[in-house]
A and B are shown apart, each in its own frame.
Chain A
C-alpha cells in the first residue's frame, strides 16, 4: 500500500496528522487568486477554465482516497459519470432544472453508490481491487450505452435544462456563470477535503495507508473508515460530474469507463499525489497542454501527454509539486 512516494514533511505537501498546523498558509490562496484573475484576464477561455475547475474537484476526490487512504482505483469515473447522468436526466427528462437540486441529487446518488460498491470491493486489495473498480465503471458505461431511452446511449443526452443558479445567474454563452459557479462549488469541496485531511479521521486514513495491520492492532475500524472515505470521495466525484453536465448542458458516454479514470489518474500523478494541491496543478497543466497540443498537433497530441507522463514517472515521482518541493528545499538549505 505504500507504493506511493513519501510526501515530504512540511513544504507544499499536506500530510495532516497530529502535529501539522491546520491553518491555511498564504500560498494556498494562490490558486484562488489565479482563478479570479483568469476570470477577468482570460474571458475567452472561461469554458476551458470551468472544465479545469471541474477536473480539479474530480482529482481532489481521487487524491482523498488514493493519496491519503491509499486506495488505488481505475474506476473513479463511475461516480463522476453517475453524477453527470443524474444531473442530465433530471434536467433533460424529468424537468428538475434547479442546478443546486441537480447537484444534490447527483451527490446523493454517487454517495450511495460509493457506500454500496465500497462496502463490497474494499474487502479486497491490490490488483483484485483495481480490477473490481474498473469492472464497476465498465458496468455503468454499458448501462448508459444500452439504456438509450433514458441516457441517449451513444448519442448522449442533449438539451439538459439548467435553471439560473439561485434563480439569479443564468448560464450564459460566454461561460461566465459556469466558471464562477464551478469555482464556488470547488471552493466548498476544497475546504471540506482540507478539513477532512487535517482531522483525526484524515490522520487515521494516513495510518491505514502506511500500515493497515497496525491500525487493526490499535483497534481502528479500518474497513468502516475506508468505506466512509470512499463514499465521501464518490460524492465529490459525483458533484464534479454533475457540474460537467450543467456547464455543457450535455452528457455523453465519455464520462464513464476506463478513459476518464485513467486520464484523471494521469492528472493527479502529474500534479503530485497525497498533497491536496497536486490535484490543482495536475488538471491545470494537463488540460491546458491538451488544449494547446490538440490545436497544434491534432493527430499527435497524445504523444506530448505521454511524454510528460513518462518524464514525471521517471524523474519526478512526487509530480510537479514534488519538483517544486525539491527546488524549495535546495533554496532553503544554507549555500553549501
Chain B
C-alpha cells in the first residue's frame, strides 16, 4: 500500500546532538496512527521536520508520493498537510468562527481579497459554522477564543486544522492540559473525524492513544524503536524498558 506520508532516512542534528536518527516512517491513507515515546524522544522534532518548521540535515519527506523536503511550511499546507499545536496557537482575541474562517479562506484562496467584505464570503462562513457544529462548538461561534474554557480552546485548535481539509492531520498532544474528566470529549471528536483523513497523533495520555490508534510508532532518542498494533506495543518489552527507564531514572 502506498503511504500518504513517508519519511526516508530522515536525520536532523544540532552539532553533536542527534534529534532525528535515520527515521523511516510511513503513514497509510486514512490511518489512525500514534507516535509515542518518552520526553525528549524527538516526537515534536519529527513533527516540525514534517511540517517544515525545521529543515532536515539529510533524508527525504514525501506527501502523497511526492517529495516535499525543501518546501516552505505554507506550501506543504497547500498540499494537504495540516497540524495542531501542543500549546494553544490560536487567534485569542478573535471570535471562534474567525479562527476557523481564516483557515478555510486560505484553503479556498479567497483570503487575499481586499474589496468585498469578509462577511459576504458566505461559503466560507457556512463551512466554518458547519465545522464548528460537528465539534459541538456551534454555540460558541461568536465567543472570543480567550473567553472559552481551556478544553474548548483545544477543540478550536483542531477545528482550525480541519478547516484546511487536510489529507494528513498531525495532532500534537491534542489533550495536553485537558483534565482527564474532559479528555473523553477530545477522544469523541477524534473518533468522529472523517475517515479519509490520515491522522498522526502525538500524545502522552496512553489511555487515549490505545483507544484511538490502530498503529503505534515508538520513538526513543530520535530513532524509531518499534512499530506495531496497540496490542503488540503493549506487550513489547523494549517499549516498557524505555518508559520505565525514563520514569524511574
Chain A residues in the interface with B (C-beta under 8 A)? 2, 6-7, 9, 15-22, 195-196, 198-204, 206-207, 210-211, 213-222, 225
Contact = CB atoms under 8 A, between A and B. Distances in A.
A218 B160 contact: yes
A238 B94 CA distance: 31
Interface in B110-150: 110-121, 124-125, 128, 141-142, 144, 146
Interface in B167-217: none
Contact of A201 (B77, B112, B141): B112
A22 B51 CA distance: 36
21 contacts: A6-B93, A17-B119, A18-B97, A18-B102, A19-B95, A22-B118, A195-B117, A198-B117, A200-B118, A201-B111, A204-B112, A214-B85, A214-B89, A214-B91, A217-B73, A217-B85, A218-B103, A218-B163, A220-B106, A221-B74, A225-B112
A17 B77 contact: no
A111 to B, nearest CB: 14
Interface of B: 51, 73-75, 77-78, 83, 85, 89-95, 97-98, 101-103, 105-107, 110-121, 124-125, 128, 141-142, 144, 146, 160-161, 163-164
A220 B110 CA distance: 11
A204 B111 contact: yes
Nearest to B125: A18
Given A18-B97, A214-B90, A217-B51, A207 B115 contact: no
Nearest to A196: B114
B102 A203 contact: yes
A21 B125 CA distance: 13
Given A211-B92, A214-B89, A218-B106, A19 B98 contact: yes
Given A200-B110, A211-B91, A217-B89, A19 B125 contact: yes
Contacts of B120: 22
A17 B98 contact: yes
B156 to A, nearest CB: 11
Contact of B118 (A18, A213, A214, A222): A18
Contacts of A20: 118-119
B106 to A, nearest CB: 5
Given A203-B98, A204-B102, A219 B89 contact: no
B118 to A, nearest CB: 5
B94 A17 contact: yes
Contacts of A16: 118
Contacts of B95: 9, 17-19
A180 B97 CA distance: 42
A210 B114 contact: no
A216 B73 contact: yes
B77 A218 contact: yes
A211 B90 CA distance: 7
B115 A199 contact: yes
A66 B182 CA distance: 39
Nearest to A199: B114
A18 B93 contact: no
A216 B75 CA distance: 10
Contacts of B85: 213-214, 217
Contacts of B89: 211, 213-214, 217
A218 B91 CA distance: 12
Contacts of A202: 114, 118
A200 B125 CA distance: 11
Contacts of A207: 91, 94, 98, 102
Which 4 A-B residue pairs are closest in the complex by CB-CB distance?
A219-B77, A22-B117, A210-B91, A18-B101
Contacts of A220: 74, 102, 106, 111
B106 A201 contact: no
A6 B145 CA distance: 13
B113 A199 contact: yes
A200 B163 contact: no
B83 A206 contact: no
Contact of B105 (A15, A22, A200): A200
A16 B124 CA distance: 15
B221 to A, nearest CB: 27
A201 B113 contact: yes
